[in-house]
Structure 1
């Protein structure tokens, strides 16, 4: 029904005039010229049409008009309508109209235009494009923006720098674009919150005034940027984890190696037939070494809980516990159990030789992995003890080379003797072909028990369950 205040006057106008309800999409009034434009016989026939199926660009454009005309402003812009599917290009002035019931409607006053085909197609493509496109004057004031840009920024679209998360970056880009094309990735603030946009700005002439303007196009690349940030963060986390593990490995090696000598030799001294005062001093050194080892374990967060058994009083028996260990001791005494110990540290080599000597075992040494491989080729060994971190050739590489040898040498049981006992390191030893592991500082009882076990010919009958696995 026509508004009673203006209906009669509007009906006499030759230009199309109609009211549009943005809430329902209906046209509660249209003058005869508007009915002709829309190809409707009557207002009732026009009202029967369903205008609710709108594209996102159209919905955004209508919302923009509602916001822009709410304070009494009139907006002049080109509209292409499609009555019965046929395009009609108009230049329309749109303003806010409040009807008798207090409802805010949009008042369209249109003039039909004859616009070239290419220009019409370009205009419609621009309005429906997902790329955010805006035109600014040289000072950064918006002259035009397509629905996608308005949908992203709303009221913030009016100022070039205001859409940037860091406005100074926007001002710098505006200044640079006046001299030539600029392409940058920038953080922006949209209606949906912070986003990442790839922005391209370039100088163009204003088709209305001829003055230089800045054309800005934007693509939302937030998902891609966030994926890249997540990937970078994951790589950094992995790098930090690797660096931490490397630090733990080096600290473990550097601290446990001297402790190996302190704890090991003090044990041998305490087991020796020394005067009471000297034995007591050896026990004190041994106890201090164990205490320091506990501090080291806590500092490097030892994941395997490696500990050394407390040293018994010299009067107590230091024999290897268990029936199997006793058999190994007997076998070593009668046949001379032969072991090859590969380690670049002289104190470690001397200590292990001294430990073996207490049991009557024979222990020969090599100073690095390469020398260890050569010794493994030529010797008849019951067991090979292999340090890991060595110059010339490390213990893992040496183990792989021994396993690749021909003949019985390739089958010799190999026990890692190392301060590097993190879980993934142990897995590396297993994959290289090692059969067991003894952690440094060396526990004499553990070492001799494992050597005895593997020298009995039962190697490879049990899998390496962990660095502290012992014979059952």
Structure 2
């Protein structure tokens, strides 16, 4: 049998049957003192004893401050009318309460609550329902970062309804700055990494000043949206762009190295080869042979370096197409147009070809080459790639678009730019072969005979399969 309360006032029995919820609360001892049946129903208690046995010592600092304020404000006999929202058994109940100070039999002051349930407006009920079911994570904090409320989405993400503001972040030190900014400006937003039950996630945060509907005090409303997928997609895109830029820079460097190393080697090997055939003295021939041998060794080193850097691209003579067997040489001299902006290259190729009875005509850039192709009858066009005014690839496309037989003249790239990507571009533009500089006189003449003497074949404006 429970011990009778020495402060039980028989006058309270008059409240027992009232339909208005009435209860007494000790703001200092943080305990219930009395409650009528209507108050027990409002608080979701099965009996008065159950309600009064509840532990109210864990009230939030904001609610505790509010009750202390009410105790002071009503100590001289004043009444205060306020709207309060309670959460008995986790469900919100809003009442309009008249609060005054009531003195127990021993003279101790307690707070007397006389409550009238307040029905929420339809808009409020709809807002509460939306708050329960939204995917957005919504929480309310006091000025010190203590959690006052979390909707189901926020509770599900973090697993705790009392998680402090700073404890959400992977870098807790940013919490203070966000709170200060919101309190100073009224609102702030940020993208931050947070620690959820499922691991680290990226959340877009909106923090703004609000009011605690229970205490009326200043609070911070936090709205969080999980944008991890978007952040990861942007990071992947940035990484892909970085990799593409690095690959483009690498290809550009390789192309520059290939051109700048092979172009002078072409002159060294070509002219040393021509000199060796000019009836030199034994000593002179020996010196020229050494120059040629050193240049050839350097050419092999350059070819290997470029091929390895290019991912093991094609053996320098290139990827030739099928369908061009060596044909019967015509009774007349072969007519070859050679397009190159480098004077030494033009002189070398002209010397090699004319020494073999080939009628070789020179053009200094792609534009000149296109005009020559339009007006002349050629057995073959040798085309440099890197040229001013018009490059070799553009010139080839332009020639392939010409009307009549001019569009079907075989075009062979004679270039220092022989990376795998370069070769694909040449083939797509309509070139039938790629000969790397420096080209030996034998390789050069073999390519001229192969393509200039080829029998009439397919329209060279159409792609021809490459050899394996």
- 8 Å CA contact 2:269–2:292 kept in 1: the answer is yes
Which of 143, 148, 172 is the aligned partner of 1:143?
Answer: 148
Shift of 1:439: 1.2
1:430 match: 427
Which ranges in structure 2 are unaligned for 5 or more consecutive residues? 3-15, 18-36, 43-53, 64-85, 96-114, 319-324
CA deviation profile, 1:377-430 (whole Å, cap 9, x unmatched): 222221110111100000111112212223332222111111222233222222
Q: TM-score, normalised by structure 2?
A: 0.69
Residues 1:132 and 2:137 are matched in the alignment: yes
CA contact (8 A) 2:317 2:435 kept: no
Distance (Å, rounded) in 2 between the aligned partners of 1:359 and 1:395: 25
Deviations 1:351-399 (A, max 9, x none): 1112112311121111100011111122222111011110000011111
Q: Does the aligned pair in 2 maintain the 1:153–1:190 contact within 8 Å? A: yes
Q: Distance in 2 between matches of 1:157 and 1:226?
A: 29
User: Are the counterparts in 2 of residues 183 and 200 from structure 1 also a CA contact under 8 Å?
Assistant: yes
Q: Secondary structure at the match of 1:203?
A: strand
- The whole-number CA distance in structure 2 between the counterparts of 1:240 and 1:345 is 30
Deviations 1:138-173 (A, max 9, x none): 222222222222222235963222322222332211
**Secondary structure class of the residue paired with 2:274:** helix
**C-alpha distance in structure 2 between counterparts of 1:133 and 1:380, whole Å:** 80
* Whole-Å separation in 2 of the counterparts to 1:420 and 1:157: 67
- 1:387 paired to 2:393: no
Report the alpha carbon displacement of residue 266 of structure 1 after superposing the two structures with TM: 2.0
CA contact (8 A) 1:386 1:417 kept: yes
**SS of aligned partner of 1:185:** strand
Instruction: Tell me whether 1:171 sits opposite 2:168 in the alignment.
Output: no
Q: Cα deviations across residues 287-342 of structure 1 (Å, max 9, x unaligned)? A: 21122223323433253343479xxxxxxxxxxxxxx87964xx5xx522111100
Alpha-carbon spacing, 1:147–1:326, altered in 2? closer, same or farther (3 Å) = closer
Per the alignment, in what secondary structure is the counterpart of residue 187 of structure 1? strand
| Correspondence 1:3-42 to 2 at 5 A | none
Across the aligned residues of Structure 1 and Structure 2, the Cα RMSD in angstroms comes to: 3.8
Task: State the alpha-carbon separation in 2 of the partners of residues 194 and 157 from structure 1.
Answer: 19
Q: Distance in 1 between matches of 2:416 and 2:131?
A: 68
Match in the other structure for 1:229: 235
Among candidates 235, 245, 256, match of residue 262 of structure 2: 256
* 1:274 paired to 2:274: no
Alignment of 1:173-252 (within 5 A): 173-178=178-183, 179-252=185-258
Q: Could you tell me which residue of structure 2 aligns to residue 117 of structure 1? A: 120
Cα contact 2:147–2:163 (8 A) shared by 1: yes
**How far apart are the structure 2 equivalents of 1:113 and 1:154?**
34
Partner of 2:26: none
User: Shift of the alpha carbon at 1:129?
Assistant: 2.6
* Aligned residue runs from structure 1 range 363-402, under 5 A: 363-402=360-399
Kept in 1, the 8 Å contact 2:146–2:162? The answer is no
Match of 1:361 in 2: 358
Measured after TM superposition, the shift of residue 244 of structure 1 is 1.6
Superposition map of 1:276-425 within 5 A: 276-300=282-306, 301-302=309-310, 303-307=312-316, 328=329, 331=330, 335-425=332-422
- Structure with the bigger RCO (C-alpha within 8 Å, sep 6+) is 2
Helix, strand or coil at the partner of 2:369? helix
Structure 1 residue 445: deviation in Å?
1.9
Deviation of 1:74 (Å):
8.2
CA contact (8 A) 2:328 2:454 kept: no
Greater shift, 138-147 or 361-370, is seen at: 138-147
* SS of residue in 2 equivalent to 1:117: coil
Q: 1:74 to 1:209 in 2, by over 3 A?
A: closer
- What is the SS of the residue equivalent to 2:213? coil
Deviation at 1:122, TM superposition (A): 3.5
- Structure 2 CA distance for partners of 1:457 and 1:355, relative to 1, 3 Å: same
Cα–Cα, structure 1 residues 186 and 445, in superposed 2: closer, same or farther, change >3 Å? same
Change (3 A) 1:366 1:79: farther
Question: What CA distance in whole angstroms lies between the structure 1 residues aligned with 2:375 and 2:369?
Answer: 10
TM-superposition CA deviations, 1:107-141 (whole Å, max 9, x none) = xxxxx984423344443432333211111122222
1:291 match: secondary structure = helix
